[in-house]
């Protein structure tokens, strides 16, 4: 069960393009759902905790029910999938916000949705959206009276009006919840190219169709947060899987909706604690896989490589050959462990969760400064760096300042004297010694410091200052004596 499920659930429903996602973003106070004038942008349910007047609840945005007749170009595969998603969240909800459009007025689609809403037997508040002027606000109650709902609240996202009255009416009909649980969940982003099986992987982990899956590339558009509880022995670990839209090359992004989908996916990488990079086993190691992997490396995020669709290639190649091919293409991701899986059959899924929990433990490791410096001293003595010109790279001491990622600062004599390959060597040795097989990138930062300096002890620095003052005083006295003897500096 999700940690947020203790909160009352308020679902926003309605037909496409009436402003559900705009209302959702207004009520949660952040731009989470993608808002666009195109019909049917939202497909999956998007949830986020919200609060108003000290009251806390979980707000859920849903896909539009049905497509307007003049926009339909034949059967739409997403109609049934969206309806199933809406039905699933309505079954869990405590109240519903039914969004209608004041500009269009009452439509046949609203009549069809009315039958669906009445079957829910839940408290319903109608948000008569796009009531941008006085006549529309005044006529909203009469226009939508046929819906059979008593509470009809006119709203407008353009002028940010009517939302206090709307949410106040909703809060009257849901149970009072205490403070929301502390947000200490492990955030796991699932990223990759379009149609590599990201949503199928999330559904397999949950054991249910939590997010929409189809053979059409680009089915997922928003970044969907799906809370879950992982079990590590007797301990329950709250986690959130973030299903993201497939990332295509920038030159191939040809719509505004796809641009915002890619932006949400990149934002998911930045806010994640762990990233699962899903690679298509039938087409591994593409240029776009390398771009996404580089994006993860640049953000210094712990990463696990998942090679999906093993069921389609198991008879054509061996796992060892497939892994070697991917490693050759992603040479900068050698630290990331790899799992060959099948989201369709569930092959090798147990290893993923075990590795995530092991990674979580290593994300809490702190290396004591004394242990780190002993390790550095031994490593530098056994394998010293090659000299650069007539200078050799020397490390005076090191300290670990953060995790994740493990951030280690090395105070050295000269940053330019450290070859890049030697820094990579130190990183690999540190990983083998303290973070084996975890998928953690190690951030080594080299800072220049004169030999003998110690930021924790100013004794030597003070001694040098005293010595410098003594030398200055000695030279002044010497000049004075020389002048008395009649000496002049030529």
3-class SS string, the chain = CCHHHHCCEEEEEECCCCCHHHHHHHHHCCCCCCCCCCCCCCCCCEEEEEEECCEEEEEEECCCCCCCHHHCCCCCHHHHHHHHHHHHHHHHCCEEEEEEECCCCCCHHHHHHHHHHHHHCCCEEEEEECCCCHHHHHHHHHHCHHHCCCCEEECECCCCECHHHHHHHHHCCCCCCCCCCCCCCEEEEEEECCCCCHHHHHHHHHCCCCCCCCCCCCCCCCCEEEEEEEEECCEEEEEEEEECCCCCCHHHCCCHHHHHHHHHHHHHHHHCCEEEEEEECCCCCCHHHHHHHHHHHHCCCCEEEEEECHHHHCCCCCHHHHHHHHHHHCHHHCCCCEEECECCCCECCHHHHHHHHHHHHHCCCCCCHHHHHHHHHHHHHHCCCCCECCECCCEEEEEEEECCCCEEEEEECCHHHCCHHHHHHHHHHHHHHHCCCCCCCCEEEEEECCCCCCCCCCHHHHHHHHHHHHHHHHHHHHHHHHHHCCCCCC
Burial 72-86 (b: 16+ CB within 10 A, else e): eeeeeebbebbeebb
pLDDT surpasses 50 at 217: no
pLDDT of 450 reads 56
Tens of pLDDT, residues 121-147:
788 888 888 888 888 888 888 888 888
Specify the pairing of strand 407-412 against strand 395-402: antiparallel
Residue with tokens 């020389």: 482
In the chain, how many domains are there?
A: 3
Coil, strand or helix: which one is 316?
Answer: coil
- Whether 344 is in a domain gets the answer yes
pLDDT of 178 reads 62
Coil, strand or helix: which one is 12?
Answer: strand
Task: Return the structure tokens found at 85.
Answer: 């998603």
Could you tell me the CA-to-CA distances from 166 to 17, 56, 129, 295, 317 in Å, in that order?
A: 19, 15, 11, 41, 59
The domain boundary, picked from 335, 362, 389, lies at: 362
Residue 477 parent element (H or E): helix 459-484
pLDDT surpasses 80 at 76: no
Q: How many CA atoms within 13 Å lie on the side-chain side of 194?
A: 16
Q: What is the pTM of this model?
A: 0.69
Task: Return the structure tokens found at 1.
Answer: 């069960």
Average pLDDT, integer, range 413-418: 81
Q: Do 286 and 142 belong to one domain? A: no
Long-range contacts of 229-232 (CB under 8 A, 24+ apart): 229/1, 229/2, 229/3, 230/186, 230/353, 230/356, 230/357, 232/357, 232/360
pLDDT surpasses 70 at 152: yes
The domain boundary, picked from 321, 346, 362, lies at: 362
Q: Which band of pLDDT confidence, cut at 50, 70 and 90, is reported for residue 4?
A: very low
CA angle, 398 then 401 then 403, to 5°: 120
pLDDT of 463 reads 62
- Whether 88 is in a domain gets the answer yes
pLDDT of 393 reads 83
Name the region of 373 (left: φ>0; alpha: ψ -120 to 50; beta: rest): alpha
- Whether 454 is in a domain gets the answer no
pLDDT surpasses 60 at 85: yes
pLDDT surpasses 50 at 87: yes
DSSP annotation string for 372-413: HHHHHHHHHHHSPPPPBTTB---EEEEEEEETTTTEEEEEES
Q: Do 328 and 408 belong to one domain? A: no
Tens of pLDDT, residues 232-268:
777 778 888 887 776 766 666 555 545 656 677 778 8
Average pLDDT, integer, range 292-297: 88
pLDDT of 261 reads 63
What is the rounded CA–CA span in Å between residue 270 and residue 246? 16
- Whether 418 is in a domain gets the answer yes
CATH number at residue 261: 3.40.50.300
Residue with tokens 């079957």: 119
Q: Do 334 and 374 belong to one domain? A: no
Domain that holds residue 345: 186-362
Q: Do 167 and 237 belong to one domain? A: no
Per the prediction, the chain carries an average pLDDT of: 78
Percent of the chain with pLDDT over 70: 78
The domain boundary, picked from 171, 196, 212, lies at: 171
pLDDT of 58 reads 84
Q: Do 31 and 116 belong to one domain? A: yes
What is the rounded CA–CA span in Å between residue 351 and residue 439? 14
Tens of pLDDT, residues 356-394:
888 888 888 888 988 999 998 898 888 888 887 778 888
Q: Give the chain's count of helices (H) and strands (E).
A: 14, 15
- Whether 381 is in a domain gets the answer yes
What's the burial of 181, exposed, middle or buried (CB within 10 Å: 0-12/13-18/19+)? middle
Q: Do 147 and 196 belong to one domain? A: no
Q: Do 284 and 382 belong to one domain? A: no
CATH number at residue 440: 3.30.300.20
CB atoms within 10 A of CB 123: 18
Q: Do 12 and 82 belong to one domain? A: yes
pLDDT surpasses 60 at 457: no
Q: Which band of pLDDT confidence, cut at 50, 70 and 90, is reported for residue 353?
A: confident
pLDDT surpasses 50 at 74: no
pLDDT of 173 reads 85
Q: Do 297 and 423 belong to one domain? A: no
Q: Do 120 and 29 belong to one domain? A: yes
pLDDT of 268 reads 81
- Whether 483 is in a domain gets the answer no
Query: Do 134 and 49 contact (CB within 8 A), yes or no?
Result: no
pLDDT surpasses 50 at 70: no
Specify the pairing of strand 224-232 against strand 235-243: antiparallel
What is the rounded CA–CA span in Å between residue 147 and residue 19? 18
pLDDT of 461 reads 61
Which carries the bigger pLDDT value, residue 154 or residue 233?
154
Tens of pLDDT, residues 9-32:
888 888 888 888 888 888 887 776
- Whether 142 is in a domain gets the answer yes
Q: Do 203 and 349 belong to one domain? A: yes
Residue 310 parent element (H or E): helix 310-313
Q: Do 200 and 343 belong to one domain? A: yes
- Whether 288 is in a domain gets the answer yes
Beta bridge partners of residue 279, listed in sequence order: 307
């Amino acid at each position: 069960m999700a940690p947020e499920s203790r909160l009352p659930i308020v679902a926003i429903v309605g037909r496409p393009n009436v402003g559900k996602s705009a209302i959702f973003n207004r009520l949660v106070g952040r731009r989470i759902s993608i808002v666009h004038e195109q019909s049917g942008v939202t497909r999956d349910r998007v949830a986020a905790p919200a609060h108003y007047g000290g009251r806390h609840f979980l707000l859920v945005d849903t896909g539009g029910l049905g497509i307007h007749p003049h926009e339909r170009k034949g059967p739409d595969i997403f109609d049934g999938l969206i309806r199933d998603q809406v039905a699933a969240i309505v079954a869990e909800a405590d109240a519903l916000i039914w969004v209608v459009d004041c500009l269009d007025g009452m439509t046949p689609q609203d009549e069809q949705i009315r039958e669906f809403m009445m079957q829910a037997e839940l408290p319903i508040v109608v948000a008569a959206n796009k009531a941008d002027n006085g006549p529309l606000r005044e006529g909203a109650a009469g226009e939508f009276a046929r819906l059979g709902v008593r509470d009809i609240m006119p709203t407008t996202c353009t002028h940010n009006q009517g939302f206090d009255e709307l949410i106040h009416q909703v809060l009257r009909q849901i149970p009072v919840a205490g403070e929301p649980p502390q947000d200490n969940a492990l955030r796991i982003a699932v990223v990759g190219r379009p149609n590599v099986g990201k949503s199928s992987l999330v559904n397999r982990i949950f054991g249910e169709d939590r997010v929409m899956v189809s053979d059409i590339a680009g089915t997922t558009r928003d970044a969907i947060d799906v809370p879950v509880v992982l079990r590590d022995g007797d301990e329950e670990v709250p986690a959130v899987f973030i299903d993201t839209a497939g990332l295509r090359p920038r030159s191939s992004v040809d719509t505004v909706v796809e641009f915002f989908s890619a932006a949400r996916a990149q934002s998911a990488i930045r806010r994640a604690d762990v990233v699962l990079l899903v690679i298509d086993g039938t087409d591994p190691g593409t240029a776009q896989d390398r771009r996404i992997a580089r994006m993860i490396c640049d953000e210094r995020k712990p990463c696990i490589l998942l090679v999906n669709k093993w069921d389609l290639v198991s008879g054509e190649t061996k796992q060892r050959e497939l892994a070697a091919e991917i490693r050759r293409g992603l040479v900068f991701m050698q630290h990331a462990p790899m799992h060959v899986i099948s989201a369709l059959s569930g092959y090798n899924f147990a290893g993923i969760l075990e590795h995530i929990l092991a990674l979580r433990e290593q994300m809490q490791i702190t290396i004591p400064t004394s242990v780190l410096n002993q390790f550095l001293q031994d490593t530098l003595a056994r394998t010293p760096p090659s000299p650069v010109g007539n200078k050799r790279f020397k490390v005076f001491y090191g300290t670990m300042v953060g995790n994740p990622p493990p951030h280690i600062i090395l105070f050295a004599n000269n940053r330019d004297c450290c070859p890049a390959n030697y820094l990579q060597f130190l990183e690999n040795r540190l990983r083998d010694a303290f973070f084996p097989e975890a998928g953690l990138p190690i951030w080594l930062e080299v800072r220049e410091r004169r030999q003998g300096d110690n930021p924790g002890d100013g004794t030597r620095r003070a001694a040098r200052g005293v010595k410098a003052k003594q030398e200055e005083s000695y030279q002044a006295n010497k000049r004075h004596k020389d002048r008395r003897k009649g000496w002049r500096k030529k």
